[in-house]
Amino acid sequence: MIRLARLTPALCILCLLWFAGKVQAGPPALDSLRQLQRWPLPVQLRMARGSVTPVTAPVVIGLLRQPKLARAVRAELLANLAGHYLHENQPSLAILQMLQTRRMALEDGDSLRAAVACEWLCYSYYLLKQPQPGIAYGREALRLVPRRTAAGHDELSGIYTNLACCAEVAADYPLAIHCYRQALRLARADGDTGNVAVEYGNLAGIASRQRQYPLMAQRLDSAYAAYPLPRHAGTQIFLDGLKGTLAFHQGRYADAARVLETTLQLSRATHHLHDEMSVMETLVPALEHLGRYREALQHQRRYAVLQDSLFEEGSARHARELQTLHDTQQKEQQLTQQQQRIADLQARTRLREAELTRRTTIFLAVLAGAALMLVLVMVRQRARHILETTAAALRVRNRIAADLHDEVGTLLTRVNLQAELLRQGHPQADPALDRLLTNSRAAASTMRDIVWSIDAQADTVGALLDRMRDHLDQTAGPAGLNTELVTRGLTDCEPLTPEIRQHLYLVFKEAVTNAVRHARQATQLRVGLSRQQDQLLLTIDDDGQAVAPATRSGMGLRNMQQRAAALRGSVTAEPSSQGGFRVRLAVPVE
């Protein structure tokens, strides 16, 4: 029992493979086709590719109505059902199936299947004698077919032939000739002698319609030469029928009757009813011209019987097509109603989604506004704190400057006055008193500089210029130098940071002191302060004898370089090209 249980799955798989082989070998069994969806997808595809017969056609139609049918299986069933309708001479029903096949193929991006569907649509409209839609679908098939693939190349000949047939019915002979020639070229390239002969025959038929009988004879000769005996019965009937037609139009009625009678016997033997009727359409007038009225009457009666039978068959087929169209219309109405309900549901869903989106947007907007207000409040509080801190710092600076000026400045002034009084009370020179007087004056000057650097009210260009003028008057004037202070691009009320203002003044003071001490035979001292784009430029020029920078530098030049580096600027001290000496300070500002 254990061994049997182990062998059961293997036996099931073998049975499934055997059944799949049976499905692939021929048309699917009726019971198996009814239970198509119970099988795995590969087995379903094999069963769907089987040919549709009159027995299995109702089952296939029922399967196509099931919504859960796999898309690939549905496409195979639609195509094979359309082929069945064409085989049963029901082109209207074939058109309905092929339109669905074409739509599915275009949605799936399967250009080959779409091209084949368009080719069959072209042929179906040719059978219905409606050439204009057939021409349109034939052109679409040519546009869609993948010509560089083997399968697409194999379909080209049929597409050209069907398109040419529709063009011939529409009397568009240039298009028909072009398509037949393309099909002839493909048949020659493939070495298919039978199709070469058929295409020559088609071209001969167009020449007959245009009454170009020498050209028709030439093309018939090419057809017979391209396809030697033994020939396929259908091809032989087609070519001999054209040959008899050519003889009739050329007035050779006996030759036409002989060829057409032989062709008529072959078409009856092979049960080609349409070919038989086509042969009799030319044979009857040929026999009339020969005076063989009895035979002509017999053939005419046979033609009438065939025409009546085909008419009855066509009427029955038309009734079946109408019934199918009625059923299809009802299904389409039901489908339209379902689609309308689905559309209404989708519309209501979209409205709910839009309302939800609107509410979400409003909520996010309110949330963003609240966050923005919070940020603005925080920024405002921060700005207020910075302003209050800055104002407090300014008040501290002003108080310190006032205290230094009032207390320490007054004390230094008294020391300086006492030193002056002592110096006047001793007529003889006293080095100690001289040093005390000099130091007190220097301390008072330094004290004024410190008070000026701390004073917040002096953070402007005008205050800096006033301080520079005072220093020039106190140092350069007593030394006999004519001074000039020039400004460009600056206004008196323009603000300066305390750091820039102090460093600029100290560099200026050091440069002026160096010029007073070391500029030999100098008579002119020129100071310039200007703004050039994004930097402040301070220049101090004298007209004394040019000397090496080391002679005039020492500790003072190093101090100027350190102050320039603190301001992220640069300072140069060198002889001027026009004579004298120049100190140049460039400081970046915003």
- Residue 188 C-beta-side C-alpha neighbours within 13 Å: 11
Tell me which of 287, 304, 326 is where a domain ends: 326
* Structure confidence at residue 515 (pLDDT): 81
Q: In 52-130, which ranges are continuous DSSP H helix?
A: 57-64, 71-87, 91-108, 111-127
Tell me which of 293, 326, 359 is where a domain ends: 326
* Structure confidence at residue 44 (pLDDT): 78
Q: Is the pTM of this model over 0.85?
A: no
CB 198 within 8 A of CB 233: no
* Structure confidence at residue 3 (pLDDT): 34
The answer to whether the peptide bond before residue 42 is cis (omega within 30 degrees of 0) is no
Whether residue 515 is contained in a domain is answered as: yes
Distances (CA, A) of 89 to 5, 27, 550: 53, 20, 117
* Structure confidence at residue 433 (pLDDT): 61
The structure tokens listed for 271 are 């049960």
Q: What is the domain-level CATH number for residue 476?
A: 3.30.565.10
What is the rounded distance in angstroms from the CA atom of residue 260 to the CA atom of residue 240?
7
What is the rounded distance in angstroms from the CA atom of residue 369 to the CA atom of residue 363?
10
What does the DSSP 8-state code read for residue 404?
Answer: I
* Structure confidence at residue 2 (pLDDT): 32
Question: Nearest-CA neighbor of 64 among 104, 91, 92?
Answer: 104
* Structure confidence at residue 360 (pLDDT): 92
Distances (CA, A) of 513 to 537, 549, 550, 552: 19, 15, 15, 10
Tell me which of 294, 326, 358 is where a domain ends: 326
- Compute how many other C-beta atoms are within 10 angstroms of the C-beta atom of residue 550: 9
* Structure confidence at residue 18 (pLDDT): 38
CB 461 within 8 A of CB 424: no
Whether residue 204 is contained in a domain is answered as: yes
Distances (CA, A) of 50 to 100, 158, 506, 545: 19, 22, 105, 116
Whether residue 486 is contained in a domain is answered as: yes
Whether residue 445 is contained in a domain is answered as: no
What is the rounded distance in angstroms from the CA atom of residue 13 to the CA atom of residue 20?
10
- In the chain, how many domains are there? 2
Whether residue 413 is contained in a domain is answered as: no
Residue 317: give the domain boundaries: 28-250+313-326
Whether residue 302 is contained in a domain is answered as: no
Give per-10-residue mean pLDDT for the chain (590 aa). Answer: 35 37 47 75 81 81 81 84 82 85 88 90 88 91 89 88 91 91 89 89 90 90 87 86 89 89 87 82 88 87 80 56 62 78 90 91 91 89 78 64 58 64 61 65 66 66 81 79 84 81 83 81 85 86 69 68 85 82 86
The continuous run of DSSP H or E covering 583 comes out as strand 581-588
Whether residue 361 is contained in a domain is answered as: no
* Structure confidence at residue 314 (pLDDT): 55
Within this chain, do residues 177 and 320 fall inside the same structural domain, yes or no? yes
What is the rounded distance in angstroms from the CA atom of residue 382 to the CA atom of residue 374?
12
* Residue whose tokens read 């070391």: 518
Whether residue 428 is contained in a domain is answered as: no
Q: What is the domain-level CATH number for residue 55?
A: 1.25.40.10
